[in-house]
Amino acid sequence: MRAGVRALRRKCPYMRHIHDRTGNPPLRDYRPGFAGLARIVVGQQVSLASALAIWGRLQAAVQPLTPETFLLADDATLRAVGLSSGKVRTLRGIGTAIANNGFDLEGLTTAPEEVVHEQLTSLSGIGPWTADIYALFCLGRADAFASGDLALQTVARLVMELDNRPSRDELLAIAERWRPWRGVAAHLLWAYYKVADRSLLLQKAT
């Protein structure tokens, strides 16, 4: 992270401005495997506080959190911890793929990034955002970048003073300047999202 921050400060004035405000961003480091992927699914389309609360309840209700134990949990238990029916289906699908159908999630640890993305998005309920976040948070890929993330798009628009919030493809093109440290750039942008003026962020989110 520190090496990436130093490189980004040298090459990009926007990253330098963000780092001046935030300092070194916290590293989001999840364990690879089913539990790490489940944690990312839990966090889809909910606030960070809600995601943390649901994740804590899920860990308490399903121990240990493996594909096999998750598949044994009934829907009532899973809904009680705060999982939507869609997330229950997604996680059951992932658990079944690993436990019964030979999906090698652990094998993705050393796979090229395009293979990680292709394999994960082949699972029902797993889209590009989830695959990108898994590569970044669980596999620690320094150049992984979730260009479809709303917070990243909003902060990029704010910091770069763009007229409109960039689309997924537009932000991906912008992020080319941050290679091979796009993952570190994402952490800096998320850190800035936490400290930026809320009123400005709300304006830039539209």
pLDDT 10s digits, 194-204: 888 665 666 65
Q: Which two tokens stand for residue 159?
A: 């910091």
Q: Which two tokens stand for residue 166?
A: 């960039």
- Fold that domain 2-27+144-205 belongs to in CATH: Endonuclease Iii, domain 2 (1.10.1670)
pLDDT 10s digits, 9-61: 999 999 999 999 999 998 888 989 999 999 999 999 888 899 999 999 999 99
Of 185, 176, 122, 115, the C-alpha closest to 151 is 185
Is the peptide bond prior to 67 cis by the omega test (within 30 degrees of 0)?
A: no
Residue pair 92/70 in contact by the 8 Å Cβ criterion:
yes
Q: Across all residues in the chain, what is the average pLDDT?
A: 93
The whole-angstrom separation of Cα 12 and Cα 14 is: 5
- What CATH homologous superfamily does 34-138 map to? Hypothetical protein; domain 2 (1.10.340.30)
Gyration radius from the chain CA atoms:
18
The 8-class DSSP code of residue 178 comes to: G
Domain ranges of the chain: 2-27+144-205, 34-138
pLDDT at 204: 55
Residues constituting the chain: 206
- Count of Cβ atoms closer than 10 Å to residue 35 Cβ: 19
DSSP SS3 for 81:
coil
pTM, full prediction = 0.91
